[in-house]
């Protein structure tokens, strides 16, 4: 209670000095303010623009950048996901939904386990790209990648189903580079953000913000 009172005092104790000084003739014409504004505008003409021509030019991103998910296949091309629901339970945004299917005889090459995800959807508008689904998955079936989720005009187009999530059999997505020891160490350092560029020196010093 005492702490709350102190915080309230700090928040309400701010002061602003109000001046009743008479404005000069130039000030009444706003000339100094306009000149100041023009100088600031002109100074930006000689600065390097912060914008980039995306998607032709892309900013470098951290090795642990968390972007669009992929549902992985195993070494034989069968879907790894067994529709256990652990990722959906772990998801703080309730972005994942799925329905289960039972593997039939002759479908061993399609699905790794007897149970598989008949449908699997992630609502990319709900997803906060925290990576908890990846951490929760006991089958190493779901990973976040460095791919950006495309812009869309319709909300429904942000619901990604298996057609967009399961990796193509002839275009596998390599996530091993993202799971190196350096990346795993990076994830352990508190305070480092996923969109921050990897700096081994900071990592060694246990850098904190
Ligand atoms: S990254 Fe986080 S928010 Fe997005 S689907 Fe996975 S657990 Fe949910
Ligand atoms: S992605 Fe992993 S955690 Fe999610 S349902 Fe499939 S096997 Fe389970």
Alpha carbons 119 and 204: distance in angstroms, whole number: 43
Residues 100 and 117: beta-carbon distance below 8 Å:
yes
Q: Look at the block and give the residue holding tokens 């209670």.
A: 1
* Alpha carbon nearest to ligand 1 atom 3, residue: 127
Give pLDDT < 70 ranges for the chain.
Answer: 1-12, 182-184, 186-209
Alpha carbons 175 and 143: distance in angstroms, whole number: 7
Residue 76's pLDDT is 93
Q: Is the CB of 103 under 6 A from ligand 2?
A: no
Q: What is the pTM of this model?
A: 0.69
Mutate which of 69, 72, 87 for ligand 2? The one with the most ligand atoms within 8 Å of its CB, which is: 87
Residue 181's pLDDT is 74
Lining residues, ligand 1, CB within 6 Å: 90-93, 95-96, 122, 127-133
Residue 207's pLDDT is 44
Residue 1's pLDDT is 45
> DSSP string spanning 1-64?
-HHHHHHHHHHH----PPP-PPPPHHHHTTHHHHHHHHHHHHHHHTSPPS---TTTS-----TT
Residues 82 and 71: beta-carbon distance below 8 Å:
no
Q: pLDDT, tens digit, for every residue of 77-90?
A: 999 999 999 999 99
Q: pLDDT, tens digit, for every residue of 110-124?
A: 999 999 999 999 999
> Residues, the chain, total?
209
Q: What architecture is the 69-202 domain classified under in CATH?
A: 2-Layer Sandwich (3.30)
Residue 95's pLDDT is 97
Residue 183's pLDDT is 65
Strand ordering across the sheet containing 115-123: 96-102, 115-123, 159-160
Q: Look at the block and give the residue holding tokens 């069968």.
A: 78
């Amino acid at each position: 209670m005492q702490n709350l009172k102190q915080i309230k005092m700090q928040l309400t104790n701010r002061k602003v000095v109000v001046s009743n000084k008479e404005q000069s003739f130039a000030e009444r014409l706003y000339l100094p303010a306009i000149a100041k504004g023009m100088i600031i505008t002109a100074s930006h003409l000689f600065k390097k623009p912060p914008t980039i021509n995306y998607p032709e030019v892309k900013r470098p991103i951290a090795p642990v950048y968390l972007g669009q998910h992929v549902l992985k296949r195993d070494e034989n091309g069968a879907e790894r996901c067994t529709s256990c629901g652990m990722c959906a339970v772990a998801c703080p945004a309730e972005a994942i939904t799925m329905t289960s299917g039972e593997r039939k005889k002759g479908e061993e090459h399609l699905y790794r386990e007897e149970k598989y995800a008949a449908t699997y959807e992630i609502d990319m508008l709900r997803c906060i790209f925290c990576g908890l689904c990846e951490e929760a998955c006991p089958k190493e079936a779901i990973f976040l990648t460095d791919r950006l989720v495309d812009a869309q005009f319709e909300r429904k187009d942000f619901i990604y189903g298996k057609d967009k999530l399961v990796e193509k059999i002839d275009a596998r997505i390599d996530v091993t580079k993202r799971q190196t020891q350096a990346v795993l160490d990076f994830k352990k350092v508190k305070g480092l953000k996923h969109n921050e560029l990897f700096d081994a020196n900071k990592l060694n010093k246990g850098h904190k913000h």
